[in-house]
Structure 1
Amino acid sequence: MASWIPIAETSDFSLQNLPYGIFSTDNSDPRIGVAIGEYVIDLKILAEEGVLGNLGSGGDTLKQSTLNAYAALGKDVHSRVRQTLQRLLEKDTQSGDALRDNQPLRDKAFVPLSNVRMHLPMVIGDYTDFFVGLHHAVTCAGLVKPGATIEQLCPCFYNLPIAYNGRASSVVVSETPLHRPNGQFPVDGKLVSGPCRKLDFEVEFACFIGRGNELGTSIEVDSAEDHIFGFVLMNDWSARDIQMYEATLMGPFNGKSFCTTVSPWIVTPEALESFRVAPKKTPRELPEYLVQKKEKSAYNIPIRATLGANGQRYRVADCNTNNVIFSFAQMLAHHTRGGCPLRTGDLIATGTLSGPERENAGCLLEQTRGGTEPYEMIAENSATGNVRRAYLEDNDVITFTARASGRGGNVGFGSCAGKILPAP
């Protein structure tokens, strides 16, 4: 899908992608934009100029400072806007006078990515983190209780997508620094209170809800994808020592609530359609409400985690979004099974997306065998020595990137990055 906009072969933002985000510049308030090549297209300006066609009252949603109202319009409107943008931006467009040949409008509407600041793309009311990664679950079972299987620790794992309700107030956009959390945990048999000593990352994939459901109703599995606005990368930062001490009876609390980072660009389901795969198969017999007709209901998207330290970058892990046993549709169907209402802007995550090998583990808990075997991370610059980590150190920067490449061009998410500051 060639465009008259210059797009580098290494760009995340091809004409196939067109992800949504919220950006600002020194001269503008936060507004909705779409990324292509090295530019952000200001959709507020295009809507005001009538370039996107007749969207009725829906056009006003593109003039807002968050994506919530636009996301709630539903996939038919989103698809129409996407098709209009592709038609305006394609190389041999027949609508050149509307944008390509309108230099004053281009000067206003196209902003270099290097000049923008990205914001959290949606107002998040609730955040739910699932635990549907096959290899992560199996490995962690052996770490929590040597010799135990995941069936022994969690008999329901294969039969339903399990989850916990996270803290929406601490979800931040990429490049937002985070402080090492303080908490309570045992050290050598003595209980201490202070800065976390086992800070970790978790490679995850997440969706934002576009349309919700009413209290007391449920979402059918085969229509659940209609409720998804789009997808982001997510780092579920974890304080393992705090988490392990507090979670024995009631599940995660302070060990997970201090920060969660998401990538700034929301990639639509349409952009990912050609990267569909089936979830991992497991021996089970699902109840009818979780049986999905669509076999290819997960995605094949590689995610790389890197460590920035001492002015160098090191490869930490190579994961993939296909390492799940339940699809997002099944997660939403189960989430609402008892009548729980989802709302526009809710964030729904997969849990850690580890693969079968150590270099595919999506967190240090797995890579270091619970911190007992520090993991060697390979320098991207071969002239630089490698580093070893048991857990993360202050001033470390963890960055996730993901890019799926297809016939239509690259589909990426931008980076999901955060720097660790000392505990307050």
Structure 2
Amino acid sequence: MLRSFIEVSPESHFPIHNLPYGVFRTRAGGTARVGVAIGDYVLDLSVLDRAGHFRNTAVCGKEVFSRDSLDAFMAAGPAAWHEVRQIVQRLLRADEPLLRDNASLRSAALVRQNDVELLLPVRIGDYTDFYASKEHATNVGVMFRGKEQALMPNWTHLPVGYHGRASSVVVSGTDIRRPRGQIKPADSSDPLFAASSQLDFELEMGLFIGPGNPLGTPISIADAESHIFGLVLVNDWSARDIQAWEYQPLGPFLGKNFATSISPWVVPLAALEPFRIEGPPQEPEPLAYLRTTGKTSFDIQLEAYVQGDGMERPERICASNFRYLYWSMAQQIAHHTVGGCNLRPGDLLASGTISGPHRQARGCLLELTWRGTEPLVLKNGELRRWLEDGDRVTITGWCQGDGYRVGFGEVTGRILPALP
């Protein structure tokens, strides 16, 4: 079993088996650079690079770890990612003295996470949000169209998605301002302009694209995963009342583009390999360009918490799992590019709300409260139909190994009142 010379508790999300990438700067000042999380520390890869530990790799001399985003490293491709991961994992092993016994290098390269500011890890060029959970799509369809027409005719034939707004993707910890927009009350013939009163979270995960594809050249389903650099937690905030009035005929706009929060650590696909599982059965069989075999999903436990101003601690309101996604990440990429769309390093593809077959596994308040008709009763007696000002939402996720966890940390955001 792998073991690091740095002590890591079994409950930590960041053992030597994980080694997620992020961008940080120390609270004392300095420039942003790339690091990996190990226990309660950040290992500064720019320090290791200057010390010559990556001299025989594809990133040698390119200073990809001295930048304020992961984009250049992501563009380097799977072979480079594998080389760097192998070196970092070896340096952190308990039986490897190169870093363990070099006091000056260790002092320069290891920084406590409490002493750093974690930044948006990627300079995101484009953002696509899918609708890949069958349970979520079915629940929403039942609410708005009834059981007989819950799923639209195309849903089981292709991964439905829309293009979101990359400029409003923010890192965990960023406060979220309640949006304003046009809202059409049920008892009014005309819309009004007001702050959203149906603000919601969405429990999602997202993948970052490494090497992309040329315009006009699709990525095949067989090659799709080689373009995935890593995964993050996503909270794609939604203003349900604004969205309900605007979304026909072209889909989400102001109801979604005001903010999307992501976790700061990007977990590489290699760290998730031990947790591969088969996805849900697909019926009817997808068209040839979407057909997959084998284990195309992952056992990632997901939870969402809310903490209002009057609450002493966060309360869990949702427990779901990545395994419930009907459309796999490879299928999302293959479909996204089949018409010739070119993906680029740093593009973010999110899963859509991840809901499961049980009520507690519903990944948003729209489902948990059934469009506000069945409010949640919190332990302190408060009710929640939708998010209130001051509410802090936290999403976390991890894979459970034998005596260790490969986790994603958390993505959190607090709701601020709408502007006057």
Q: Same fold (TM over 0.5)?
A: yes
Aligned-pair identity (%): 44
CA deviations over 1:42-80 (Å, ceiling 9, x no partner): 000110011234225545212211100011111111111
- Distance in 1 of aligned mates of 2:394 and 2:55: 38
DSSP 3-state at the match of 1:312: coil
Shift of 1:189: 2.2
- Distance in 1 of aligned mates of 2:381 and 2:355: 22
- Distance in 2 of aligned mates of 1:78 and 1:142: 44
- Distance in 1 of aligned mates of 2:58 and 2:144: 55
TM-score by length of 2: 0.96
1:150-229 aligned at under 5 Å gives the runs: 150-151=150-151, 154-190=152-188, 191-229=191-229
Q: Please say if residues 170 and 260 of structure 1, whose CA atoms lie closer than 8 Å, have aligned partners that are also in contact.
A: yes
1:304 corresponding residue in structure 2: 303
1:397 paired to 2:398: no
Please tell me the root mean square deviation across aligned C-alpha atoms, in Å.
1.3
- Distance in 1 of aligned mates of 2:222 and 2:6: 37
2:48 corresponding residue in structure 1: 46
Q: Please say if residues 58 and 70 of structure 1, whose CA atoms lie closer than 8 Å, have aligned partners that are also in contact.
A: no
CA deviations over 1:65-102 (Å, ceiling 9, x no partner): 11000111111111111111111111112xx1x21111
Shift of 1:2: 1.1
1:261 paired to 2:261: yes
Q: Among 392, 406, 414, which residue is 2:409 paired with?
A: 414
DSSP 3-state at the match of 2:223: helix
Alignment-mate amino acid for residue 158 of structure 1: T
1:31 corresponding residue in structure 2: 33
1:369 corresponding residue in structure 2: 370
- Distance in 2 of aligned mates of 1:408 and 1:71: 30
Q: Please say if residues 3 and 16 of structure 2, whose CA atoms lie closer than 8 Å, have aligned partners that are also in contact.
A: yes
Structure 1 range deviating more: 50-59 or 107-116: 50-59
Q: Please say if residues 280 and 325 of structure 1, whose CA atoms lie closer than 8 Å, have aligned partners that are also in contact.
A: yes
Shift of 1:15: 0.4
CA deviations over 1:222-279 (Å, ceiling 9, x no partner): 1110101000000010000000110121100000000000000000011000111122
Q: Please say if residues 303 and 318 of structure 1, whose CA atoms lie closer than 8 Å, have aligned partners that are also in contact.
A: yes
Q: Please say if residues 301 and 321 of structure 1, whose CA atoms lie closer than 8 Å, have aligned partners that are also in contact.
A: yes
1:91 paired to 2:94: yes
- Distance in 1 of aligned mates of 2:227 and 2:368: 35
TM-score by length of 1: 0.95
1:76 paired to 2:75: no
- Distance in 1 of aligned mates of 2:187 and 2:383: 26
- Distance in 2 of aligned mates of 1:362 and 1:230: 22
DSSP 3-state at the match of 2:268: coil
Structure-2 change in CA distance of 1:291 and 1:188 (3 Å): closer
Alignment-mate amino acid for residue 348 of structure 2: L
CA deviations over 1:18-55 (Å, ceiling 9, x no partner): 00000111232111000000000000011001123422
Q: Please say if residues 59 and 80 of structure 2, whose CA atoms lie closer than 8 Å, have aligned partners that are also in contact.
A: no
- Distance in 2 of aligned mates of 1:128 and 1:195: 26
Alignment-mate amino acid for residue 50 of structure 2: E
In structure 2, the gaps of 5 or more residues are none
Shift of 1:386: 4.5
Structure 1 range deviating more: 239-248 or 49-58: 49-58
- Distance in 1 of aligned mates of 2:381 and 2:318: 14
Alignment-mate amino acid for residue 46 of structure 2: K
- Distance in 1 of aligned mates of 2:321 and 2:139: 16
Q: Please say if residues 47 and 62 of structure 1, whose CA atoms lie closer than 8 Å, have aligned partners that are also in contact.
A: yes
Alignment-mate amino acid for residue 279 of structure 1: G
- Distance in 2 of aligned mates of 1:318 and 1:244: 26
1:16 corresponding residue in structure 2: 17
Matched residue pairs, number?
Answer: 412
Q: Please say if residues 14 and 36 of structure 1, whose CA atoms lie closer than 8 Å, have aligned partners that are also in contact.
A: yes
- Distance in 1 of aligned mates of 2:276 and 2:382: 36
1:115-134 aligned at under 5 Å gives the runs: 115-134=115-134
Q: Please say if residues 15 and 408 of structure 1, whose CA atoms lie closer than 8 Å, have aligned partners that are also in contact.
A: no
Alignment-mate amino acid for residue 129 of structure 1: D
CA deviations over 1:94-114 (Å, ceiling 9, x no partner): xx1x21111011111100001
- Distance in 2 of aligned mates of 1:283 and 1:264: 36
- Distance in 2 of aligned mates of 1:23 and 1:408: 28
